[in-house]
Amino acid sequence: MPNRHIRILAIDDEPIILDLIKFNLEKDGYRVDTFSYIKDALKTDLSKYNLIITDVIINDIRSIDFISNIKHNPETSHIPIIICSIKGMEKDVTNSLNAGADDFIAKPVSTRELSARVKSMLRRQKSNT
């Protein structure tokens, strides 16, 4: 599969959403690691990922703080972040984008839309390197 070298990190406290993301992105050929808690994701080497997908509301740490930390770390600042959240009010979207997220998708998420946005984000990242 041509995308097997691309690693994606998905964080969401809803196991069904994580399974849906993982299944569909792996079907597209990506390697996907999933976590239900940001604190667990932080135990991994985040710099090995090409893209991060996270919800705004995770039980343990505010995603906005997580995003801000990633974007302020020179080793991870280049990693695109897609927010996938039920909180789709204008304030939630602008707060996420202002914190450093690169895109925002409102739940319920269409798997085709998610796949297209991931491909688009990875194309942009590749053209910037």
pLDDT tens digit string along 107-121?
A: 888 899 999 999 999
More confident residue, 86 or 40: 40
What burial class does residue 69 get, using C-beta atoms within 10 Å of its C-beta: 0-12 exposed, 13-18 middle, 19+ buried?
middle
Q: Phi-psi bin for 100: left (phi > 0), alpha (psi -120 to 50), beta?
A: left
Domain edges within the chain: 7-128
pLDDT of residue 98: 87
As its CATH architecture, domain 7-128 has: 3-Layer(aba) Sandwich (3.40)
pTM for the model stands at 0.90
Query: DSSP letter at 43?
Result: T
